Amino acid sequence: MPNCDAAILDAIRSRSGQASRKEIQQATGLSWGTMCAQINQLLSDGTLLSERLQPAGRGRPVLSLRLNQQARYMVGLDIGASQTKIVICDLAFRVMHQQVLPTPYYQGEKHFFAWLSGRVQDCLQNSGLARDKIRGLCAAVSGNVDSENGVLVSGGNFGISWGADLPLAARLSERCQLPVCSVTTQAAAAWAEYHFGEHAGCGNLVTIGLGVGIGSGVVANHRLLISQPGRPIGYIGHLLMPGNKHICTCGFRGCLEAYSGAHFLRQAARDQLPHRPELHDARALDQAAATGDPDAVEMMNLAASYNAIGIASMVQLYSPDAIVFSGGQSQPQGYVYQQTIQAINGILPVERRSRMKFSLSRLGVIQSALGAARLAYEKFI
Ligand SMILES: [Zn+2]
């Protein structure tokens, strides 16, 4: 749940950036005393501004509170398997500065933290924003994250093996002099869609990331589901697909991701089509399948059927009203994406399918970084 300040600022933002104390209390449910004390604090540090509005009819002028959008900022970081994104947002969640960089393959803890903190510090400096207004950072990682302790347990898709247990939040916090928390990329993606996406406010929403790995995030009854290592919630990528013989980065044989994920597609193409080096890449396979190449069609149809089984399982588990796709393999005209949608339509009963919206994320590559910025806001603002 958002902290007290975040709840007050959310209430004002939802009324176009201006609200009375009474409206804020109705929206937040805070006690009058607690709310007024917090508002006074926010007024004294310049986060809120007070304005006297003339009433429409007879009566006393109304005191209205307005959000000073540039009073505080938060940083959202998303360490993806191939790219790392950093955004700095203001209190209206406008992106004031962003950077997208390649994620290096893991070469040890010392190198990793030196690289990561260096990039964050560059970004803070390049933004030109006052450091004392930057309130906190949330790091989303494509991997297993112990959110309660801010520990990165693994990031198999960029070389961090299970059990590495990197103290991500503590190390970044110490090097960047900011409060830091951490979640998975997919949890951040779901939270970004819930707050900023096409289906913002949709209380039961699932995000599916079709990329290097196959990921998913879940918002259920307006709450973000957050996994802990050993207590996974809403993971699609490691659902077991009968017939899939590949060993996954998690150690199991036959996970969805261990065929449909871009890394594994490349490996599967090398194994199955050694005489066709031009197809040893997920994007090349997708393009070749679109032109009807029978080898590529066979591989991508299998990937799409696995995707569809995984997504149908998510529908059974969470009954979402909307499913939002993102990631490198979610291209509107892409072969595997189109086939995946077609295969799901073939699995789900028509009545169930007709109540559910499918769409491609409009938030672009910074989707999870935006979700992370929102989580940093809820925790540290
Ligand atoms: Zn797995």
Check pLDDT > 80 for residue 2.
no
% of the chain residues with pLDDT over 90:
81
Question: Using one digit for the tens of pLDDT, what is the confidence trace for 99-131?
Answer: 999 999 999 999 999 999 999 999 999 999 999
pLDDT digits (tens, 9 = 90+) for 327-369: 989 988 999 999 999 999 999 999 888 889 999 999 999 999 9
In angstroms, the CA 203 to CA 316 distance is 16
Q: What is d(CA 313, CA 239) in angstroms, rounded to the nearest whole number?
A: 9
Q: Distance, CA 252 to ligand 1 centroid (Å)?
A: 5
* 235 CA distance to ligand 1 middle (Å): 10
Centre of ligand 1 from the C-alpha of residue 255, in Å:
5
What's the CATH fold of domain 202-361? Answer: Nucleotidyltransferase; domain 5 (3.30.420)
Which amino acid is residue 9, in one-letter code? L
- Which CATH code for domain 4-67? 1.10.10.10
The token pair that represents 345 in the structure block: 């339509």
Q: Name the pLDDT band for 374 (thresholds 50, 70, 90).
A: very high
CA proximity to 235, closest of 249, 254, 256, 221: 256
- Tell me how far the alpha carbon of residue 307 lies from the centroid of ligand 1, in angstroms: 14
Query: What percentage of the chain exceeds 70 in pLDDT?
Result: 99
Domains of the chain, by residue range, sit at 4-67, 73-190+366-380, 202-361
CA distance 328 to 337: 10
User: pLDDT, tens digit, for every residue of 64-83?
Assistant: 999 999 999 999 999 998 89
**141-162: pLDDT as tens digits:** 998 899 999 999 998 889 998 8
What is the C-alpha to C-alpha distance for residues 247 and 136, in angstroms, rounded to an integer?
38
188: phi then psi, degrees, rounded to nearest 5: -65, -35
Closest CA to 227 of 241, 237, 240, 213: 237
User: In this model, does residue 381 exceed pLDDT 90?
Assistant: no
Ligand 1 centre to CA of 17 (Å) is 45
Q: What distance in angstroms lies between residue 27's CA and the mean position of ligand 1's atoms?
A: 42
Same fold flag, 73-190+366-380 and 202-361 = yes
Which amino acid type is present at position 275? H
- Tell me, in angstroms, the distance from the centre of ligand 1 to residue 212's CA: 13
Distance 250 CA to ligand 1 centre (A): 4
pLDDT of residue 62: 76
Quick one: angle between helices 4-13 and 21-28, nearest 10?
A: 120
Flag whether pLDDT at 377 surpasses 60.
yes
CA–centroid distance, 259 to ligand 1, in Å, is 10
Nearest to 74 by CA among 307, 330, 374: 374
Spacing, Cα 360 to ligand 1 middle (Å): 25
Structure tokens at 302: 């299998």
Ligand 1 centre to CA of 248 (Å) is 4
Centroid of ligand 1 to alpha carbon of 362 (angstroms): 28
Specify the DSSP element, H or E, that contains 48: strand 48-53
Ligand 1 centroid to residue 91 C-alpha, Å: 38
- Centre of ligand 1 to C-alpha 43, Å, is 50
Domain 73-190+366-380 belongs in CATH node 3.30.420.40: yes
Distance between Cα 158 and ligand 1 center (Å): 15
